[in-house]
């Protein structure tokens, strides 16, 4: 704030908004993971996105998420354009994520266009965009969430 905003007040038009809810302080991988996972709590998400608030975002017209008969999803946020054939528990999936049959995702954040192939296990992980976890691989963050960089294939 001090270096980017305050130092450039003469160049920018800066306005404020009085937000009275809890605002997470994200300062580490652990706090990023925990803050995002808090959005799985309906009361937390309602405090950020009220019924009368407009949310402005880049429009991406994609089909709704497809859930196959083999899918099982519990306590998760799934964006549009996903294809779910496996198990997703306590996780956040961004647009266009593919979860193949027999794959398991737990307590993880999978960003855009990630692919979790057949029989793979992903737990306590944050993936960047376009990460592919290949068939039958297990990727588990033990003491803290593990981050997998953009377009990595494991």
> Does any domain span residue 89?
yes
Based on the fold, state whether residues 101 and 128 are members of the same structural domain: yes
Considering the entire predicted model, what is its pTM?
Answer: 0.86
- The tens digit of pLDDT for each residue in 48-61 reads 777 776 777 777 78
Q: Please identify every stretch of the chain with a pLDDT value under 50, giving residue numbers as ranges.
A: none
| Residue 105: predicted pLDDT | 98
pLDDT tens digits for range 58-86: 777 889 999 999 999 999 999 999 999 99
Residues 6+ apart with CB under 8 A from 51: none
Q: Is residue 56 part of a domain?
A: no
Identify the domain containing residue 87 by its residue range: 66-148
- The residues, any chain, with a CB within 8 Å of residue 24's CB and separated by 6 or more, are 31, 34, 35, 38
Please tell me whether residues 38 and 84 are part of one structural domain.
Answer: no
For position 1, what pLDDT does the model report?
66
CATH of residue 98: 2.160.10.10
- What confidence score (pLDDT) does residue 100 get? 98
Helix (H) / strand (E) containing 42? helix 42-48
Written as six digits, the tokens of 66 are: 């497809």
In a domain, 60, yes or no: no
Say if 78 falls within a structural domain.
yes
Q: How many CB atoms lie within 10 A of CB 20?
A: 6
Query: Pick from 45, 99, 118: which is nearest to 75 by CA?
Result: 45
How many domains would you assign to the chain? Answer: 2
Q: Given CA atoms 151, 33, 88, 135 in this order, what sign does their dihedral have?
A: positive
Of residues 79, 96, 81, 77, the one with CA closest to residue 38 = 77
Tell me if 114 is assigned to some domain: yes
């Amino acid at each position: 704030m001090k270096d980017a905003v305050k130092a450039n007040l003469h160049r920018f038009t800066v306005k404020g908004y009085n937000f009275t809810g809890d605002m997470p302080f994200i300062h580490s991988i652990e706090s990023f993971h925990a803050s995002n996972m808090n959005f799985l709590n309906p009361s937390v998400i309602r405090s950020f996105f009220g019924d009368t608030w407009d949310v402005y975002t880049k429009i991406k017209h994609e089909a709704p998420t497809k859930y196959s008969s083999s899918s099982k999803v519990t306590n998760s946020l799934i964006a549009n354009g996903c294809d779910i054939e496996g198990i997703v528990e306590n996780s956040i999936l961004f647009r266009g994520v593919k979860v193949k049959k027999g794959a398991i995702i737990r307590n993880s954040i999978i960003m855009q266009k990630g692919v979790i192939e057949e029989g793979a296990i992903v737990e306590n992980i944050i993936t960047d965009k376009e990460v592919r976890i290949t068939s039958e691989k297990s990727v588990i963050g033990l003491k803290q969430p593990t981050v997998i960089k953009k377009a990595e294939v494991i």
